[in-house]
Structure formats: C-alpha cells, structure tokens
Structure 1
C-alpha cells in the first residue's frame, strides 16, 4: 500500500536526475506524470529530452518504482486489476457476443477488410456508443478520432445518435476529430492524445485507418524496416494511451491479396507481424448480401475463433437477421 500512497506524493521533480530544466522538457513532451514515464522507452526519452540513454533508464526505473509498475504480480493480483476493464457495446448483440461482451478497455481491437466491408461504419457506431450512458453499454465519455483518409462524417453520427434516442448535438460535442496528413503527423496525434485526456474524459480512441499513410509513404522492400519500426512505435503509443486512461483503442486496417495463396481466402491485413502481435483482438469483415457483413474473430488472447453476421443500416450497426 505504501507504493500506492507514494504515487500521489511524488512528482517527476522527485525522480533522481530530474532537475527543473529536465522536468520542463519532460512536461513539454507529454511526460508529465509518473505513469507516462514508467511506460516510456529509454531511447524516446533520451531523444526528446537531450539526455543520455543511461540517465533515461535511471529516470524510468525510478518512475516504475514510485508508480508501482513493472514488478512481478500474482495471478490473483492481475485478476483484480482486470476487474477495472470495461466493455463497450458495438450495437450488435452478435458482435458483442463474439468479443465476449464488447470491446475491451486497455486493448487494441483491429477491424480489417476490403473497401466497403463496414469498417468505418463500425467506427462511427462505436463513437456514438461511447457517449451513451453506462447502463446502455456505453461509457458516458468523450471520443478521439484520428482520421487518416477523410472518412469521418458528422451527418452519419447524427443519424446513428437519433436512432438511439440520443441528443445528436451533445454526441457531436463529445467526439473530437483530427485529420492526419501523413504518418509522422499520425504518430504525433497519438502522442497528443495523452494531453487531450487530461482535459476531456476520453475512453475511446479510434484510428481510421491505421496503415494507409505508412503503406503509401514507405513503398518497396528497402523502406520496409523503417515502416515497421514506426508502425510498432505508433501501436505501442496507442496501447499506452489505452492502459493509462482505461480506454478502448479501435483501429481499422486494409487488406492486400497474397499471390502465394491458392486455396482459401487470399486477403491478409497490412502491417504484418507488428500489427498482428500488438492488436489484442482482430476482426475480419467481409461483405455479404443485402447490407449484411460477416465478422470473423481471428485473434484473441482468451476467446475462441468464430464468426457472426451483422447488418449495416441507415440507423447503424445491428444484428444480421
């Protein structure tokens, strides 16, 4: 219990090696509490603050000690912490069931599929749902959307909000959208999200789409390593945001055809192992007849693979009938 009390008492100035100038640099770059420092990487910290990597490691390890992270825990303690995790409804009982009750906080849920498979529609629906009261499966919270392909439509939010008997003006006020113009801007916006969360109660962060800028800017095998490194950093920033704010992270991803697949579905999500290993839940969306979509859960730490049918209508995402 002493550590937990210490977390409230200590500030970043109390960390060894952090004077006034370093503290100011840390705060300017978004490292303004013990938890953000505790989960930082020494390389990033040394670059933004102009300090040696050795000094950065000392600062991070002290922050971990004060914030009580990075230690081994019993399974019982982890179960207790997982009780903080909440679930956000998708609007479809079928899809909620596939995800074990909805989208988990402190995790990245990736929806991938071809153009027109319903990815952006689901993102709009999640944004509306997060503003709903808790008793309706929402968080009564604000939403951040990083829009990389200019796909956000406030008119669609109004339609979906009215279908749920919500005040559409209030819903729009609680959704904060930033257009990302390239991959570096996208990474910067994910870092800025931590500052936004101090001003607004943000419990859902959406990136639509995760990989489009990375794919168009880093073409060819020569730039693959750099692309994957940046994508890895970006995804860990998103995960850090989810962990610190007990928020849902929902991302969309495109697919590309694999020429070596002769049987079965040749479509694979972009981003390779980096995205595959960092996303906690992965859902593959496919078009079906009459506005229906088939959603298949292909990756989860504890849920079985399976698929279900959902419907994309003017009112939003519902169960496929």
Structure 2
C-alpha cells in the first residue's frame, strides 16, 4: 500500500504513514487487527488517535462486525490442510495441519519434534494434489536444530509418485532416477525454506515480526508463505526467565509472541507449527507426568496440541490432546532416515 493511501485514515499524515509502513503496517487489515497501545508506540501518537486510526481501518477493511455461521463456513473452505503423508495421523487431525491456526507439538527430547518441523517444511511445498500447499516455509530456529542434510533425506524419501508430480509441478525436466535431477530438486526445496537462528527471546520476537514482513512480500508471488515453524517456541523463554518472580513477565512476552505468530496465520492463510519442551510434574502419581511448558497462555492460544511420545525403536505415538472440532485420539508413525513414515 502506498503512503498516500494510508494518509486517507484520520490522523495519519506523511510522517505517520512512513512510520507505520516501516513497522510493517502496510495494509488496512494489518492496522485493523492492531491494538491502540501497539500502534501508539510504533507511530509515536496518542492512544486516542491510534484508536481512531484503527476504527477507520476496520471500516475500510470491512472487518470487525458480526457474520453468520454460514459466512464463516464459506470462509473456512479457504483453509488449507497440510498432509503428514501418514494416513493414520492425517485422519486423526481431520486431514492434516490447518492454515490460520497454531499447531503445537510437544514431547521429551528425542521424541521427534524437530523431525516433524523438517518434514512439514518439505510437505508444505508439495502440490495440493499430493497433500501439500505449494508454498514456501519460514523456519525460526532457536535450538540450532535445522539441518539442510535432513531436508535432503526427506525429499529423496518421498514416494516416487509424489516426486514425479513435484518435478512436473515445478517444470523441471529429468528423471527421479537421475542423481543430477534429484540434486537440483533438493536445492529447489531448500531455496524455499527461509531460516533464521534466534539467539534470545527478544531476537525470537523480532524474527516473528520479520516473518510477517516476509509473508507480506511473498503474498502474491508464485510461492506464498504457507508455513511458519518455530523450533522450539519456549527454549529461550525457559532459560532466560527463571523462578516464580519472573513468571509473569515471561508469560506476557510469550503471549505477545504467540499473537504475532497468529496474526501471520490470519493475514496470509499460513499454518503456524511450533514445538514445545516439557517438564515432569512431581505431583503426578498416576499416568504420564510429562507436562508442556508455557502454562495456560500457550494452552489457550494453540488451536491444536499434539503430544509425541517415544515407543519401541523408531516408533512414535502421536496423540491429539486438544482441538476445537476433533476428538482426542492417537496415531502411530515411524521416524526413519527417509523421514516420517506410516507404521
């Protein structure tokens, strides 16, 4: 959006328009979903002026009113479902990972959380006919877990039918039996994964804002951003805010970070996949004492919560713990060299 278009909003002059655009508020819709305090700090304006700007943007973007359930149902038809390429898990999740939602995957170390993020960074690029969303991926790496070699393994581990359809979809010539063709295909997959390493929680929050800008830049491109992975969401927050005295501040920052991610999903029809660490609950005498980090803030904000549990050898139990429209249940997958596979 050009500066002069923003200047049609009440209280927005050339200087304020420049500040808003520099801060990533490049559309009526992005301003409409902002809070007055957020906009006030960004543009250095009064809170009452910020409220007027937001209300005018809501009118211009035609959002914020009531809708019928039928209208919402029609809009939900635009939501994409990203397949795990594992029938049992896809059935458990009602077709796969949804766009415009936060999907949280938690489990102890070695349960396969990072394997899921790598596999989804591959799967999201597949053609829709093959269970993908034909989009690119943003990967915010907080624990130095991203490995391009793993993407190589997983691309090569896709079924032959999917590989051939992907080659055709991308207009690439050659055979999947040809090493040169496969190297080119792997390189093409890696080119569409935008990776940034977060060094602390503040940097992680900043990267979420940068991810929103990147998603906006690619919105009308051939490869829009259809997935944002954060692996792991809570590692830095857990390390930097220790003890009950800092719990409130940690939860406030985590809450803001989650809503920044949720905004990307809502604005750009993107799926948000986050991994989460766990802790043992010493008060639990029966059942599994494993509890996800993040408390009620994360529990309420995540649309889907998935618990990964180790089983024998490479087998993993995928348990759907919470979802607004699906029953709890479990599925089984295997973590192999070629990626996530059915049992």
| TM-score range relative to shorter protein | over 0.9
- SS of residue matched to 2:319: strand
- 1:114-263 alignment to 2 at 5 Å? 114-164=108-158, 165=163, 167-200=185-218, 201-263=224-286
Contact 1:98 1:307 survives alignment (8 Å)? yes
Q: Which residue of the partner structure matches residue 177 of structure 2?
A: none
- How far is the alpha carbon of 1:318 from its aligned partner? 1.3
Q: 99-108 vs 66-75, which deviates more?
A: 66-75
Q: Give, in whole Å, the separation in 1 of the partners of 2:36 and 2:216.
A: 24
Deviations 1:194-249 (A, max 9, x none): 21113331110000000000010011111111100000000001010001110110
Distance 1:199 1:32, change over 3 A: closer
Query: Counterpart of 2:7 in 1: which secondary structure?
Result: helix
> 1:73, CA displacement in angstroms?
0.7
CA deviation digits over 1:26-61, x for unaligned, max 9?
011111111111111111111111111111111111
Check the 8 A contact 2:216/2:268 in 1, yes or no. no
What are the equivalent positions in structure 2 for 1:18-29 lying under 5 Å apart?
Answer: 18-29=12-23
SS of the counterpart of 1:11?
helix
Q: What are the superposed Cα offsets for residues 108-161 of structure 1, whole Å, 9 maximum, x if unpaired? A: 000000000000001000000011111101111110000000000000000101
Distance 2:33 2:60 in 1: 12
Question: Which moved further from structure 2: 117-126 or 11-20?
Answer: 11-20
How big is each residue's C-alpha offset from its partner over 1:266-317, in whole Å with a ceiling of 9 and x where there is no partner? 1110000000000000000000002000011010001000011111111111
Match of 1:282 among 302, 305, 313: 305
SS at match of 1:61: helix
Given that 1:42 and 1:60 are in contact with CA atoms closer than 8 Å, whether structure 2 keeps it comes out as yes
Q: Which residue of 2 aligns with 1:319?
A: 342
The answer to whether the Cα contact below 8 Å between 1:11 and 1:34 also exists between their aligned partners in 2 is no
Identify the residue that residue 32 of structure 2 maps to in structure 1.
Answer: 38
Task: Give structure 1 stretches of 5+ with no counterpart.
Answer: 1-6
| Superposed counterparts of 1:295-310, under 5 Å | 295-310=318-333
In the other structure, the counterpart of 1:92 is 86
Mark the runs of 5 or more structure 2 residues left unpaired by the alignment: 167-184, 219-223
Q: TM-score, normalised by structure 1?
A: 0.95
Matched, 1:83 2:106: no
Alignment partner of 1:242: what SS? helix
Distance 2:333 2:238 in 1: 29
131-140 vs 174-183, which moves further: 131-140
Q: Considering only aligned residues, what root-mean-square deviation do their CA atoms show, in Å? A: 1.4
Per-residue Cα deviation, 1:54-80 (whole angstroms, up to 9, x for no partner): 111111111111111111111011111
The CA deviation at 1:11 is: 2.9
